[in-house]
Homo-oligomer: A and B are copies of this chain.
Amino acid sequence: MSANRPTEATEESAARAASGGDGAAPDTYDVIVLGGGPVGENVADRVHAAGLSAVVVEHELVGGECSYWACMPSKALLRPVTARSEARRVPGLSDAVAGPLDAPAVLAHRDATVSYWKDDGQVRWLDSVGLDLVRGRARLAGPRRVTVEGGRTLVARHAVAVCTGSRPVLPNVPGLAAAKPWTSREATSAKAVPGRLVIVGGGVVGVEMATAWRALGASVTLLVRGDGLLPRMEPFAGHLVAESLAEAGVFLRTGVEVSEVRREAPGGPVTVLLDTGDEIVADELLIATGRAPRTEDLGLETVGLTPGGWLEVDDTLRVDGVPGGWLYGVGDVNHRALLTHQGKYQARVAGAVIAARARGVPLLETDRWGAHVATADRHAVPQVVFSDPEAAAVGLSAAEAERAGYRIRVIDHDLGAVAGASLYADGYRGRARMVVDLDREVLLGVTFVGPGVGELLHSATVAVAGEVPIERLWHAVPAYPTISEVWLRLLEAFRGD
């Protein structure tokens, strides 16, 4: 299964490819894409669909981090956890699912989900669309020029798009690197359930992996520097998830830092020393504390940029300060929003921009919500944490909206008080919040936390990105009895006074 294949585009593009190329010399393309993850694939597909030739350069697996070591395997590990958790709250079914998950079956399914870490399917898709693939590490060698290890040189007529993504960062803790800790890669691809797992970091990766590995049987300790989980979301998201993790048997320690790590023998136990003086012994240690751009070894210095940094781009995804404007930074590398779906969104925008500029067509930059600007990056980024309960948010949190100077009103509602939620799961616990811009009476942000809210988020994303006025949302009637009826409660509360 190829997770990110833009399926609709496939047939059209394939037909176009079959009708003959543009007769370019082999090493010259209209567009060179560095990185064959979902973002690079989408940039290449878009420019190719617009009639440009394109090549993708990738030194690992085509399909990228998301397909093999992030979204896909993590969701494959997590779906059984949430499905079991929900079934346990459904009368008539709860007894049947009281036991543990079949961990080998879950891991085997995860392996199938990632195509056993082979990219044949993705490569076939590139072929079928008519996109060239060059395997190997690529470096810029001056404007519009890319060298690939092995000596091949590629030249771009119009654009080079850097879509190399990001990588986990290990903090500077004595003994840590030598202890060979897990990062998100090992955590999503481990072949067996560790007996004892210590996780450092309370963001999305830490929370999701604590959820998955605990349910698969590991004894899990989650260490967080701050005072709660999911710090980028509304505070109640972290509270509800922490409560649920504790009930599942996860040991959560907040306000602690790791001062040293020791692993005496490879494969042996690892000792984690805390700044409190405590020691925790475990079988594996997962570090999930941050990410850095994959820009260290791209030859950025040959075009006047500093290697290793995030790429600064404008809303058309073009890198700032590069004469001729031929360099684009799309996806994680630009640090606008480190999420696969947002990178793919940027890829759609960048593809349209590159094609328009290549044809000399004026851009629609003056239209904030036109096809040539990634405006949603600043106003309507959605995120679903596949924890138990799920945490889903779009746009600004109340704190972010206040910091940005909006005059806001915050409306909260207890999701457990919604009939559709109590029918979904007995004893449903959850919460919803909307942040209203009082000057325009539109929504700046919405957060849902609770079982089954992942698919509910897109209603909020349409409302926020669509800037649908509250008055009109009043006519968007939620079906009864669904969890979506929380919309009615939120709007009633806003209009009630």
Contacts and interface: CB of A to CB of B under 8 A. Distances in A.
Contacts of A93: 80, 83-84, 87, 97, 101-102
Interface string A423-451: 11010000000000000000000000000
Main secondary structure, interface of A, reads helix
Contact of A478 (B94, B461, B468): B461
A399 to B, nearest CB: 21
Interface size band for A? 35 or more
B371 A471 contact: yes
Residue from A8, A76, A97, A477 whose CB has the most chain B CB atoms within 10 Å: A477
A113 to B, nearest CB: 7
A449 to B, nearest CB: 14
B3 A419 contact: yes
Q: Taking the full assembly, how many copies of this chain does it contain?
A: 2
Given A105-B91, A382-B479, A457-B479, A492 B9 contact: yes
Contacts of A171: none
Contacts of A419: 1, 3-4, 72
A41 interface: no
Given A97-B97, A457-B484, A113 B473 contact: no
Interface stretch (A128-136, A275-283, A339-347): A339-347
B466 A482 contact: no
A88 to B, nearest CB: 10
A199 interface: no
A473 to B, nearest CB: 7
Nearest to A419: B3
Given A12-B496, A106-B92, A462 B465 contact: no
A472 interface: yes
Given A376-B477, A382-B479, A477-B381, A468 B466 contact: yes
A423 B386 CA distance: 12
Given A84-B87, A106-B92, A475-B376, A482 B455 contact: yes
B72 A481 contact: yes
Interface in A409-429: 413, 417, 419-420, 422-424, 426
Contacts of A66: 480
B109 A91 contact: yes
A92 B80 CA distance: 7
A108 interface: yes
Contacts of A482: 384, 454-455, 457-458
A417 B7 contact: yes
Nearest to A426: B109
A170 interface: no
Residue from A3, A80, A478, A497 whose CB has the most chain B CB atoms within 10 Å: A478
B80 A481 contact: no
Contacts of A183: none
A345 to B, nearest CB: 5
21 contacts: A7-B417, A49-B496, A66-B480, A72-B419, A79-B90, A80-B90, A80-B91, A84-B93, A91-B105, A91-B106, A95-B102, A340-B480, A341-B480, A370-B471, A457-B482, A458-B459, A458-B482, A458-B484, A462-B466, A464-B476, A465-B473
Given A12-B497, A341-B477, A341-B480, 4 more contacts: A72-B481, A84-B93, A96-B102, A339-B479
